[in-house]
Structure 1
Amino acid sequence: MVKCGIFNCVVIYERLQELGYTGGITIIKDYVKDMRPARSSPAVRRYETPPGKQAQMDWGITHYIDEHGIVHKTPVFIMVMGSSRSKYMEFTKRCDFYSLLRCMVNAFEYFGGVPQIVLTDRMKTVINGSEAGNPLWNKRFEDFAADMGFIPKVCRPRRPQTKGKVERLVNYVKDNFLPGRQFRDVDDLNFQALAWCRKVDSKRHGTTGEIPLMALQNEPLLPLPDKAVRDRYRWEMRKVTRDGFVSFDGAKYGVPWQYSGREVRVRISGDEFEAYDGEVRTAHHKVVYTSGRIVWLKGQYEGLAERNGIASPLSYARQTDKPSVEIRPLSLYDKVAGVI
C-alpha cells in the first residue's frame, strides 16, 4: 500500500486486519514515518515589480538589554524597494502615526525619491477599517500620500506574503543585525543601522542577482516634494503641562511657564529638541534618550510667584537710570484750558 502512495496508518491498519493482521498500529506508524514524503508548503507565485513601481514597509518589535540588565522593547520601521531590494530601517521610541510619517519621509530622502506605490499591512495608523472589501483610509495618511506623491495600498487580509519582501527583512534584521550589537542610544543605533543597510546592499542579492545599491540608481523614482512639505510631517502637537513641560519620547522638556496649558509644535532636529509657538521658538534642548528624564529650561519660571499654592505672574515696576520728564510748550496748557 505504501508503494501505491497510501501513508494513512489507520487505513493501512484496517486493511491489514482484513488480511488477518493481529499486531498493533504503533509498529505500522514506525514503519511508515520514514517513508512518508515531507509535508509540502502551499505553492505561491513570485511577484516582481518594475523599477520604481513599489516599496513595501512594516514595523517590527525588537528587544535590547540596558546597562542594568532590564529588557526593553523598541519598534523598528523598515522599508524595502520592491525591484532593487534596497532597504532602509529606523529604530524609534513609538510606532504611532507621527513616527510612521517621519520614518517614511526619512526613507524617501534616503532613497532619493518616492516610489509610485507604497504597500503596507492593514495597520490602524493607515486605515480605519474596510467597506465592501475596500480600505477606509485614515484621512491624514491619505493627505500625506497625496503630498508625497505615492499611491497607498494595503495587502489583503490574512495574506502577509503579499508584502513578503519586507516580512522577510524584519526577521533578517532580528536575526542578523541585532544579536550581540552594542549602542549608546537610539541615535547611535540608527547610525549603525544605516551603515549595516549600506553594507548589506553592497553585496549581490541572492534572488535578483543584482547589487541593491547599484540597482537603486536605476529606479525611476518620483521626485521628492519640496523641503517645506517634507518638514511639515516632522512636527507634532503637544500640550504644555501646568508646570511647564512637554512630554516627548519618554522625556520631559521645559518651556517658559507662560505657555502652560497651551499647545505647541515640537520636533527633533538633528540632536536638538525644539518647541515652537507659531513661528516663535519657545525652547530648545539637547535630545535625551533616557525615558523619565526631566530637562529644565533656564529661567523656566522667571517672573512666576506662588501664592497659597497657586502660581501667578509677578507684577514689576521698572527702574531706569534717570526719570524721564516730558517737556511740553506752555501753549499746550493754554489750549487745554480753552484760552486759545
Structure 2
Amino acid sequence: MPARRTSMRKIKEVLRLRYELDLDQRQIARSCSISVSTVHEYLKRAETAGVSWPIPTEWNDTQLQAALFPATATPIRPCKDTLDFEEIQRQLRSNRHVTLQLLWEEYRAANPNGYRYSRYCELFQRWRKTQSVVMRQQHTPGEKAFIDWAGATIPIHDRHSGAVRQASLFVAVLGASSYTYAEVTRDQQMESWIRAHEHAFAFWGGVPSLTVPDNTKTGVSKACRYDPDINPTYQNFAVHYGFGVVPARPYRPRDKAKVESGVQIAQRWIVAVLRHRRFYSEAEANEAVGELLARINERPFRKRDGSRASRFAELDKPALKPLPGEPFDLSDWAQARVNIDYHIAFDG
C-alpha cells in the first residue's frame, strides 16, 4: 500500500520554516512531525521546480502539487546488509561535526541500493536505545520556549454570590536561561492560550524561534507521536509572530523538562504561597503572581552562578526576535457540515 502523501498545508509550512525562519532540516522535521528525509525530499523538489517562499498568490494547492510532484518516482528496493552500529556510534563521537546524515550519505555512496535515510536512522536509534544512554539537552539562546498549563489552579471568588471558580495557570519557560513567565487565565480555551502567549512575548521583550507546547487541545488538534496536527489558529498565530511550533511527544516528559520544572516551581512558589489569599478577579490574582514571579526569576541558582534574570539578560534577551508591529487578529476555526438545504450553520 503506498504511503499517504503529506498535505499541501504541511508542505507549505516546510517551505515557510526553511526560507522564512531559516531552520535546519531536523528542526523542520520536528515541527511538522515528518522525517528528515521527507523534509529533504520536499525541499529538493521545491528547488528543482523553482518554488520558493512566499508562494505566488495566484497559485492554489493543485498547482503547487503539480509543480512539486510531476511524476511518481519508482521506489528502489533497499538491500538488507547489516549495519555496523558500533562503528556509526564511534564515528559520531570521534568528531562533533560528523552527523548521521553525513554517515548515511557515505553509506549510500558505497551502497546505492541501501537503506533510505529514515530507515537508516530508525535502525540506528533502535540499537542506541538498547545502550541505555540519556543525553543532556543543550539549549541555544533565544531558540526555544517551553509552554504548558499548570495542574494546580487558583480559586477566584464572586463578590456578590460567593461562588468560586478555578482559574488556570499558564507557564512559559525559555530554554537557555530558564526565565519564567506565569499568568492566571479564566480558562484553557483558545483565546486565553493566545493572549497568554502574547503577554509572555511582551514580558520577554521578544519572540523565540520555536515554541514547544504540550499536547493540549489549544496547541495541538491531534496528539500523535508521529503526526500531530497544530491547531490552525495557533499556527496562524505562529506565522504572525514568526516562530515555529514543535509539539512535545506524548508521554515523553524529557522533551519538555524545562517547563515541567517551571510548572513545579510555579505550583510551589506561586500557587502554594497564595493559598491563603482571596482573589475576586484574574487581574487581581495576576498582580500577586507578578510580584512572586519577580522573586522566582531573581532568586540565585543553587549550583551555578547568577539567576534566571541575569542569565536571561546575558543569553536569551539579545537572541530573541523583535515583536511584530501589529497585533494578532484572533479567529476561530471549525468544521461545518452542509445541510440538506445546502446551508451551513455557524456562530456569528
Relative to the length of structure 2, the TM-score reads: 0.51
* Inter-CA distance 236–206: structure 2 relative to 1 (3 Å threshold): farther
Give the fraction of aligned pairs with identical amino acids, expressed as a percent: 26
Bigger relative contact order, structure 1 or 2 (CA pairs below 8 A, ≥6 apart): 2
- Aligned partner of 1:133 among 218, 226, 229: 226
Q: How many angstroms apart in 1 are the aligned matches of 2:320 and 2:162?
A: 44
- Aligned partner of 1:99 among 192, 195, 205: 192
Say yes or no: does 1:47 pair with 2:137: yes
Equivalent residue for 1:200? 296
Q: How many angstroms apart in 2 are the aligned matches of 1:157 and 1:117?
A: 18
Say yes or no: does 1:58 pair with 2:148: yes
Equivalent residue for 1:223? 322
Using the TM superposition, give the Cα deviation of residue 213 of structure 1 relative to its aligned residue in structure 2, in angstroms: 1.4
* Inter-CA distance 206–137: structure 2 relative to 1 (3 Å threshold): same
* Inter-CA distance 193–132: structure 2 relative to 1 (3 Å threshold): closer
Amino acid at match of 2:153: T
Q: Secondary structure at 2:196's aligned position in 1?
A: helix
Contact 1:76-1:91 within 8 A present in 2 as well: yes
Contact 2:224-2:250 within 8 A present in 1 as well: no
Alignment of 1:171-250 (within 5 A): 171-181=264-274, 182=277, 183-206=279-302, 209-218=305-314, 219=316, 220-226=319-325, 228-230=326-328, 232-233=329-330
Q: How many angstroms apart in 1 are the aligned matches of 2:133 and 2:224?
A: 30
Contact 1:55-1:117 within 8 A present in 2 as well: yes
Alignment of 1:1-340 (within 5 A): 44-60=134-150, 61-64=152-155, 66=157, 72-129=165-222, 133-181=226-274, 182=277, 183-206=279-302, 209-218=305-314, 219=316, 220-226=319-325, 228-230=326-328, 232-233=329-330, 263=348
Contact 1:88-1:107 within 8 A present in 2 as well: yes
Larger proportion of helix: 2
Contact 1:81-1:87 within 8 A present in 2 as well: yes
Q: How many angstroms apart in 1 are the aligned matches of 2:264 and 2:223?
A: 28
Q: Secondary structure at 1:217's aligned position in 2?
A: helix
* Inter-CA distance 90–162: structure 2 relative to 1 (3 Å threshold): same
Larger proportion of strand: 1
Amino acid at match of 2:137: Y
Q: How many residues are treated as equivalent by the alignment?
A: 196
Contact 2:148-2:172 within 8 A present in 1 as well: yes
Q: How many angstroms apart in 1 are the aligned matches of 2:256 and 2:246?
A: 11
Amino acid at match of 1:148: Y
Amino acid at match of 2:142: G
Using the TM superposition, give the Cα deviation of residue 49 of structure 1 relative to its aligned residue in structure 2, in angstroms: 0.3
Using the TM superposition, give the Cα deviation of residue 225 of structure 1 relative to its aligned residue in structure 2, in angstroms: 0.5
Amino acid at match of 2:322: P
Alpha-carbon RMSD: 2.8
Relative to the length of structure 1, the TM-score reads: 0.52
